[in-house]
Structure 1
């Protein structure tokens, strides 16, 4: 028996090391440089600093329930009490949300853009792909309601991880917004991870590594892969959802959005963009994207009698 103990101990140590390594890959996914994001948006013409700086706005620090500050900007150039909250994707920051903000400012909304935990100016040590972020989103919603009152009319727009975060919030925390727009979400984080492993590792090891990653995620952060899968909560969302995905997206497949659309009960709409890779539906299909938004807003406002 004793001669086996070193081998067993070595195997356990190796498994533990691999489990930590795997979870580190997505918990600490390398973020884009903030200056690079800024210059990208300016160069593409999606951000005009003079126009943005001229907007009436307020920078706000919102306490997260997890002990750090969420950095947000409340932008309010329009009269009335209509707002949009924007949730950016992993590795990005709130500057990436400004192009969507401008789209809705033109339609009479005011806006809240903010940095997810571990991104931009917000605190937090790890990315959790919606698990902790959904509670941070609730904190942002609570702050909006505190400022604007219970009668505030608002929607939430999310891109990629931000879209998954938004759906997890609506399906498992509170279905508080009047409508949601989910741009290129994953339906199941475990399946997304398995898909990325098959593309990047190019070895048939994903189904072996996935349970190990799931175990160590639970041990290290207190949640598992199912807890960050919108598929498990989408049927709980009663408010209208517009689902958006670009067909050529090879990072998160459009079939994931189709699945979420199919599972969503009640009012919903689906827009598949012809052009663009991941998170490029708006950048590569502006007219069609805005048309889909306008049609959705018209349907939602007709129900709520909002002008």
Structure 2
């Protein structure tokens, strides 16, 4: 009788343990699914309009207003669509330089922004430096198709494709190819660094990254602690795994710093020293990681996340110009 009671008690403990394990797995799955949707979900109906970003640029960078009004009034801004190798329909806007030139900038926007949200950087290149400019909408942003945000990782292949489009659009009869710089801010900077570690055509000559993160894992782990007060383990691990199952890539593989280590072409690193969203502390490891090819650094004093140009637009422009001209 006693053995039967002990066996029954043992069974109960096993079932309780199994039940708790199942509950833990379900809780982790639910939390991971929430985190993935929270961080990467971006329904089309939530996307800010082009007019929102144009007006924001006018308000934050008023020196661009006359130029912006002129290029839209004179229909200088063109739309282009293409189907990416992965099968989705992508969109970009572009405008020619005031005078024919091979110099071209591909300007890449950040998290939940869109092409028009980078018109202030287009102003720098087109108005101040006389460049052709192409501004893509990344996957899941603006007028491009897509059901989630790729954090600049899978986006690297699309930006390389957009560089090819820019080369086809902007090379005039006198040029065999363009001379391109890829310039990104925030997630766009992470995209730019991800591109830099891949084999790129010769016409892609330089990169400018402004406040990009060392890796998707580092950025999300920091935000998880900042916003929810949670440690990275185990939620980051399970969410990263879920991301791989749903979208084919994981947080742990999306390491921009490893791409920078492989980069051989010149790169300018920019970061505001008061940035807490993509911490300023990420700048030095990224800069130090680049051991091949020319590099330069610009620390925007007093600037928080992604507003270095707004705060220091004259010095920002001068630093970019000097970096570009050093290659000539």
Same fold (TM > 0.5): yes
Residue-by-residue CA offset, 1:27-73 (whole Å, 9 max, x unaligned): 11586622432321222324444212126343110222222221112
**What SS is found at the alignment partner of 1:226?**
coil
Corresponding residue of 1:305 = none
Which of 291, 299, 304 is residue 277 of structure 1 equivalent to? 304
Quote the Cα distance in structure 1 between the aligned partners of 2:263 and 2:33: 34
Change (3 A) 1:69 1:29: closer
Question: Equivalent residues in 2 for 1:32-111 (5 A)?
Answer: 33-34=48-49, 35-44=51-60, 45=62, 46-48=64-66, 49-53=68-72, 54=74, 56-76=76-96, 77-105=98-126, 106-111=128-133
Corresponding residue of 1:226 = 252
Question: Gaps spanning 5+ residues in structure 2: where?
Answer: 1-10
Corresponding residue of 1:15 = 28
Quote the Cα distance in structure 1 between the aligned partners of 2:320 and 2:71: 22
State yes or no: 1:137 paired with 2:177: no
State yes or no: 1:216 paired with 2:242: yes
Change (3 A) 1:173 1:297: closer
Corresponding residue of 1:238 = 264
239-248 or 104-113: bigger deviation: 104-113
8 Å CA contact retained: 1:62, 1:140: no
State yes or no: 1:172 paired with 2:198: yes
Which of 200, 210, 221 is residue 194 of structure 1 equivalent to? 221
**What SS is found at the alignment partner of 2:326?**
helix
Corresponding residue of 1:185 = 212
Quote the Cα distance in structure 2 between the aligned partners of 1:298 and 1:15: 52
Measured after TM superposition, the shift of residue 79 of structure 1 is 0.8
Large movers: runs of 4+ above 4 Å: 29-32
Instruction: Report the aligned-residue RMSD.
Output: 2.0
Change (3 A) 1:69 1:32: closer
Change (3 A) 1:243 1:155: same
Corresponding residue of 1:297 = 324
Corresponding residue of 2:4 = none
Question: Gaps spanning 5+ residues in structure 1: where?
Answer: 302-307
Corresponding residue of 1:162 = 188
Quote the Cα distance in structure 2 between the aligned partners of 1:283 and 1:147: 29
State yes or no: 1:25 paired with 2:38: yes
8 Å CA contact retained: 2:54, 2:119: no
TM-score (norm 1): 0.91
Change (3 A) 1:147 1:95: closer
| Pair member with larger Rg | 2
Which of 120, 124, 127 is residue 149 of structure 2 equivalent to? 127
8 Å CA contact retained: 1:62, 1:143: no
